[in-house]
Amino acid sequence: MEDYLWIAQVYRLNGDSDAAIAQLRKGIELAPNRPDAWILLIQLLQAEERTEEAEEAIAEAKDSIVKNKSALALGQIYEINSEFDEAEVCYQQAYD
């Protein structure tokens, strides 16, 4: 998984967003419960204005991230997606 994240970052820094997204998706297939991979994928999709794909990824992330990590990760994901009310609820859940 770490290799996919690293390679995705290299592609992203070199301006190849499609390759970065492909690497992140491969990594997520191997470890779907890793919040950092989902966060990076959704950040990249939003940066590329691929809103529909970002929304689909958010739905997948909700089902995939381990419950004890999900509130904080989903808060970050919602914040990236400019869904601040939902982010606030998740952050509050993580805090409680």
pLDDT digits (tens, 9 = 90+) for 8-57: 999 999 999 999 999 999 999 999 988 999 999 999 999 999 999 999 99
- Strand ranges (DSSP E) for the chain? none
Q: Is the pLDDT score of 67 beyond 70?
A: no
pLDDT tens across 79-93, in order?
999 999 999 999 998
Task: Write out the DSSP string of 43-94.
Answer: HHHHHTT-HHHHHHHHHHHHHHS-HHHHHHHHHHHHHHTT-HHHHHHHHHHH
Q: What are phi and psi of 32, to 5 degrees?
A: -70, -10
